[in-house]
């Protein structure tokens, strides 16, 4: 992980964050909407991301108790992004609330944010990681684009499994360092390294230890060969779902 932002995977400086938003646009509204009822959003071919317009509050349920607060940008100066899994609309079919994955502990945290506080974009990409097989697969529009062998967490610092999403992309100051040419931050956190800066966030990144690819040796991050990391880095957008299986 990169300096203060991704300290759980090592140490190193960070240059300006590199952030690409998903394609602009709102989910297509149905002609008849059931007011106040959640409708699921997303599939294996399409997902949705919510990008903060301003500081916002995540609630345990629409209009319920406060769960967490988020600034417009995170501690790395990147716009806060949330993976959308559902929407509640008004009778007019206008979106009122989004059910979202949150970039916070515990892993898999989910809450509700007001639709007026975010922009919504469609996401065409998806990442799936098989920890036991040490394989990563990248999809666009549901079709496989890239597959690669990866390094994963060591037994004492395992890679967390679950459903996450890409929330930032960071470029190291030293591209020959432990993160290689870049890191794709995801909304997961180490389940072990809770004392690391920013809670031990997890990333998909390059490496200066190419021998480690295919082994269980990291602090929880997913390492790729640098050439593959470059391809993936510029292909993913904010909000890309990341599914990690044991």
The answer to whether position 112 is within a domain reads yes
Q: Is residue 84 a part of any domain in this protein?
A: yes
pLDDT at residue 19, rounded to an integer: 53
Domain end call among 70, 98, 123: 123
Q: Are residues 65 and 30 in the same domain?
A: yes
Residue 60 belongs to some domain of the structure: yes
Tokens of residue 134, six digits: 């040490």
User: Domain end: 106, 123, 140, which one?
Assistant: 123
Band of residue 34 on the pLDDT scale cut at 50, 70, 90: confident
Same domain, 214 and 138: yes
pLDDT at 30 over 80: no
Q: Does residue 88 form part of some domain?
A: yes
pLDDT tens by residue, 77-128: 999 999 999 999 999 999 999 999 999 999 999 999 999 999 999 999 999 9
- Same domain membership, residue 146 and residue 225: yes
Tell whether 201 and 104 lie within a shared domain. no
pLDDT at site 33:
84
Poorest-confidence range of 13-22, 46-55, 155-164, 214-223?
13-22
What confidence score (pLDDT) does residue 7 get?
41
Q: Does residue 39 have a pLDDT over 80? A: yes
- Structural domain for 167, as ranges: 7-17+125-245
State how far the Cα of 156 lies from the Cα of 33, in Å rounded to an integer.
49
Residue 8, classed as helix, strand or coil, is: helix
Tell me how far apart the alpha carbons of residues 1 and 167 are, in angstroms, rounded to a whole number.
14
2 located within any domain: no
Q: What pLDDT, on a 0 to 100 scale, did the predictor assign at position 246?
A: 97
Each residue's pLDDT tens digit, 161-208: 999 999 999 999 889 999 999 999 999 999 998 777 777 899 999 999
**DSSP state letters, 101-149:** E-SSTTTT-EEEEEGGGEEEEEE-EEEEEETTTTEEEEEETTEEEEEEE
Pair (138, 94) in one structural domain? no
Which secondary-structure segment (H or E) carries 229? helix 226-233
Whether 209 is covered by a domain: the verdict is yes
48/147 same-domain check: no
Triad 197, 200, 201: Cα angle to 5°: 115
* CATH number of the domain bearing residue 214: 2.40.440.10
Q: Cβ of 36: how many Cβ atoms within 10 Å?
A: 12
- Indicate whether 1 belongs to any domain: no
Residues 185, 101, single domain; the answer is no
Same domain, 237 and 186: yes
Confidence of residue 13 (pLDDT cuts 50, 70, 90): very low
Query: What's the whole-number average pLDDT of the chain?
Result: 90
One domain, residues 151 and 39: no
Number of domains in the chain: 2
Q: Which of 95, 123, 151 is the last residue of a domain?
A: 123
Write down the pLDDT at residue 35.
Answer: 87
Q: Which pLDDT value is given to residue 16? A: 40
Query: Which residues contact residue 182 at a Cβ distance below 8 angstroms, ignoring those fewer than 6 apart?
Result: 18, 169, 170, 171, 172, 175, 205, 206, 229, 230, 233
Same structural domain, 35 and 102: yes
Q: Residue 73's CB: how many other CB atoms inside 10 A?
A: 15
Same domain, yes or no, for 138 and 240? yes
Residue 115 lies inside a defined structural domain of this protein = yes
| Shared-domain flag, residues 118 and 136 | no
Q: What is the pLDDT of residues 206-239, one digit of tens each?
A: 999 999 999 999 999 999 999 999 999 999 999 9
């Amino acid at each position: 992980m990169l300096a203060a932002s991704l300290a759980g995977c090592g140490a190193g400086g960070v240059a300006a964050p590199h952030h690409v938003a998903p394609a602009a646009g709102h989910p297509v509204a149905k002609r008849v909407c059931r007011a106040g009822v959640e409708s699921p959003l997303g599939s294996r071919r399409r997902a949705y991301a919510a990008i903060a317009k301003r500081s916002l509050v995540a609630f345990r349920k629409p209009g319920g108790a406060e769960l967490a607060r988020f600034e417009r940008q995170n501690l790395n100066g990147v716009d806060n992004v949330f993976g959308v899994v559902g929407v509640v609309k008004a009778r007019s079919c206008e979106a009122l609330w989004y059910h979202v994955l949150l970039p916070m502990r515990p892993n898999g945290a989910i809450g509700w944010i007001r639709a007026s506080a975010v922009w919504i974009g469609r996401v065409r990409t998806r990442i799936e990681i098989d920890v036991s097989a040490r394989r990563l697969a990248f999809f666009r529009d549901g079709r496989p684009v890239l597959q690669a062998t990866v390094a994963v967490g060591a037994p004492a610092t395992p890679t967390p499994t679950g459903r996450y999403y890409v929330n930032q992309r960071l470029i190291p100051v030293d591209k020959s360092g432990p993160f290689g040419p870049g890191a794709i931050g995801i909304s997961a956190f180490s389940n072990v390294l809770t004392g690391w800066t920013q809670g031990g966030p997890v990333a998909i990144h390059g490496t200066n230890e190419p021998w480690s690819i295919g082994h269980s040796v990291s602090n929880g991050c997913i390492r790729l060969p640098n050439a593959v990391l470059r391809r993936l880095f510029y292909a993913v957008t904010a909000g890309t779902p990341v599914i990690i299986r044991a």
